Homo-oligomer: A and B are copies of this chain.
Amino acid sequence: MSDSDQLREPIAAASPALWAALSPLGRRVAFPPDIPFQAAQARGKRFNGTIGQVTDGGGRPLALAAIEEALALAPEARDRALLYSPVQGIPEVRAAWRRWQRRGLGDDAPASSLPLVTVGLTHGLAVAADLFGGEGKAIAVPAPYWGNYRQTFAARTGARVLPAPAYRDGAYNPQAVCEALAGEPPGEPAVAIVNLPSNPGGYMPTAGERQALCAALLAEAERRPLVVLCDDAYAGLVYEPGVPARSVFWDLAGRHPGLVPVKIDGGTKEFSFFGGRVGFLTFPFAPGSEVAEALESKVKCLVRSVVGSPVATSQMLLLRALEAADVEEQVAAVRRRLERRCRVLTAALAGVDRALLRPLPFNAGCFALVELAPRLDPEAARRHLLAEHDTGLIAIAPSYLRIAFCSVKADDLPALVANLERGVRELAARG
């Protein structure tokens, strides 16, 4: 029996839907009994000649002074930052991130695994694409969506991205994913991406919309095995009072045997650590359970074959933040600055000429989306704003411009909106 065959039983027993939804690659991978496996067994031996990293022979790195001196960490933490991370991530980081994910959830929160560390959030998506994508697999995505989904799922694995309108009559559409899947044969496994707060939308659903979204997803799971990838890149960045900030993952885990939510999050936005590339992949199963262990073996194989191991340096820096006594306040301070920008931008956009552009609702994350009037090309608008108004925005086909208020001063936002409106007016006048 091969290693991967051994993983079938624990997965299929715990969740037949999950086994059904695995791609051919996802089914066949298993962490091989290779160097990291053998090295893990040799840990603590008097003579350990297993691992190909340069140490003093007592487990400490022989680092270059130029690199070591730039890390103001306690000696032991610094050593760990310079040596290889375990393929699944540094244990303390995984445990601390799990506590962070589950803070405030209460004792009856659903099960969740120890998060597996990835190289930033995108890598978590790429691992999920390997596990659940594959030739012809249906991936439902509310549109407009982050363009990289297309590369990660379709270009690389051959999956079919099915877009469906995230907005209807200018309001959030909780049925989008299920509308996208309506044409798929019943019984056929599918993947749905739920990215809330959203990119490019900057939207987090109200309590009522969230309920409608979850009901639609649970109904879809009656029709087919459904993996819901919760892309929680913008977790916590919710600015509207009364709108629930928690991940939709917690509303879906353990709710239906046909629905498997997977949580993909990271330090990138939530801890404002963009350059560090620390992401996490979490399954809705208890730590140490057979199914969690089997999935961990598969993810480790995929991580090892693409990046070797995740970034130890960034993990130790993130751990320092997670262990700070005032971590919640440090994170909240960044959120408050974004909240102010969100308010200022909302006010500035309130006055724009609706015949030219219409702001879509936004209350969260890093972005706002404006829809241009029919016949106006967003790419032409983007170039015109760059060339004539010293203003850079992102064009999203067929009719949107995205404003990243996360990287603009609050005081600059009114002028940015004025430039936007002026530029679009000029474009409209041209014909």
Contact A55 B407 (CB under 8 A): yes
Contact B324 A66 (CB under 8 A): yes
A279 CB, min distance to chain B CBs, angstroms: 9
A161 CB, min distance to chain B CBs, angstroms: 13
A379 CB, min distance to chain B CBs, angstroms: 8
State A338–B324 Cα separation when bound (angstroms).
Answer: 38
Contact A62 B334 (CB under 8 A): yes
Interface hits, A300-346 → B, CB 8 Å? 301, 304-314, 316-318, 320-321, 323-324, 327, 330-331, 334, 337-338
Q: Interface 1/0s, chain A 382-408, versus B by CB < 8 A?
A: 100010011111110000001111111
Contact B156 A412 (CB under 8 A): no
Q: A147-B34, A306-B306 are in contact. Are A407 and B48 (CB under 8 A)?
A: yes
Q: Interface 1/0s, chain A 44-88, versus B by CB < 8 A?
A: 011111111111111001111111011111000000111111000
Contact A50 B392 (CB under 8 A): yes
Question: How many copies of this kind of chain does the complex include?
Answer: 2
User: Which residues does chain B contribute within 8 Å of A64, judged by CB atoms?
Assistant: 271-273, 321, 324, 327, 330-331, 334
Contact B392 A274 (CB under 8 A): no
A325 CB, min distance to chain B CBs, angstroms: 10
Contact B273 A412 (CB under 8 A): no
A119 contacts which of B32, B311, B367, B412 (Cβ < 8 Å)?
B311
State A416–B48 Cα separation when bound (angstroms).
Answer: 9
Contact B148 A54 (CB under 8 A): no
Q: Which residue of B lies closest to A311 (CB)?
A: B277
A67 CB, min distance to chain B CBs, angstroms: 5
User: Which residues does chain B contribute within 8 Å of A422, judged by CB atoms?
Assistant: none
User: Which residues does chain B contribute within 8 Å of A311, judged by CB atoms?
Assistant: 119, 275-277, 311, 313-314
What are 26 A-B contacts defined by CB distance under 8 Å? A34-B147, A39-B392, A46-B391, A49-B407, A52-B269, A52-B407, A54-B366, A57-B408, A58-B409, A61-B272, A64-B273, A67-B317, A67-B321, A69-B72, A70-B71, A70-B320, A71-B71, A72-B72, A85-B275, A119-B307, A121-B308, A126-B307, A148-B304, A151-B305, A276-B313, A311-B313
In the complex, A223 has a CB within 8 A of chain B: no
Q: Which residue of B lies closest to A322 (CB)?
A: B66
